[in-house]
Structure 1
Amino acid sequence: MKHEQREVWQRSKRLSVSVYRELKSLRDFGCKDQITRSALSIPSNIAEGFERYTEREKFRFVSIAKGSCGEFATQTLIGIEVGYIPETVGFHWRSEAMVISRMLGSLLKALDTPPNR
């Protein structure tokens, strides 16, 4: 199955698009850059993993995507607290990031077969 067909990739892409749209006028470029990069990293690393030749490489990039979910969720909380992200938007993003993280965790378990360790 191609990465574009996977629900986890589709959801993470939608999340990334939402972040870019919501923060397009944010003037704190450091914060904006960091949070958009972590959101973009999720679908990008899923795609990169599925374009690799080995299951070990696929596992590595999906694992990086999962880590980016945690990074994004943390940055979202900080963005809410400093007033850059409206609470309703931010809590929706965090909820979606946690769902995506769980989906990636399940995918990692499926990819983690003994011959690839």
Structure 2
Amino acid sequence: MKFYQFEEILAWQKAQDLAVLIYKEFSSVKDFGYKNQIQNAVVSISNNIAEGFDRMSDKEFVRFLYISLGSCSEVKSMLYLGNRLNYLEESISKMLIERANEVARIIRGLIKSLSLKD
């Protein structure tokens, strides 16, 4: 599939959705270091997809997609920690981790399709 704008990319859309959920769920958390870290990580997912897309080469795009994958893992790690610290209910934590896994699966599929073009 050919994309003309990064906003058309499902991975970017789902990453933005995840960011909104994370921001809302952690809005009342008083641990500002934790909150800042998870918010920066979740925003990094969609930002790297957008930045990589506009590099105009598949090789560069794939490099930024791998960075997005790393940010997905960071978000998941922070969610596990947040759950252990009782910053959110376990059911919410599981839902957010599932969403992060979905984003990661979509990114991996995009990487695979771009890599096959080489």
Q: Which runs of 5+ in 2 are unaligned?
A: none
After superposing on structure 2, the runs of 4+ consecutive aligned residues of structure 1 that deviate more than 3 Å are none
Work out which of the residue numbers 62, 65, 73 in structure 2 matches 1:62. Answer: 65
1:72 matched to 2:75: yes
CA displacement at 1:95 relative to structure 2:
0.3
Report the CA distance between 1:5 and its aligned residue.
1.3
Distance, in Å, in 2 between the alignment partners of 1:20 and 1:60 is 26
The runs of 5 or more residues in structure 1 that have no matched partner are none
Query: In structure 2, how many angstroms separate the alpha carbons of the residues matched to 1:114 and 1:11?
Result: 24
Measured in 1, the distance between the counterparts of 2:82 and 2:110 equals 29
Aligned with 2:108 (options 96, 105, 108): 105
- In 2, the alpha carbon distance for the partners of 1:112 and 1:62 equals 11
Q: What is the number of residues matched between the two proteins?
A: 115
SS in 2 for 1:112: helix
Report % sequence identity: 34
The structural deviation recorded for 1:8 is 1.4
Distance, in Å, in 2 between the alignment partners of 1:68 and 1:50 is 17
Hey, what does 1:22 align to over in structure 2? 25
**Residue by residue, what CA displacement relative to the aligned partner does 1:20-43 show, whole Å, maximum 9, x if unpaired?**
111112110110011111111111
**Corresponding residue of 1:46:** 49
User: Which residue of the partner structure matches residue 93 of structure 2?
Assistant: 90
User: 1 CA distance for matches of 2:91 and 2:14?
Assistant: 18
Give the distance between the partners of 1:13 and 1:114, measured in 2 at CA. 27
Where does 1:29-40 land on structure 2 (aligned, <5 Å)? 29-40=32-43
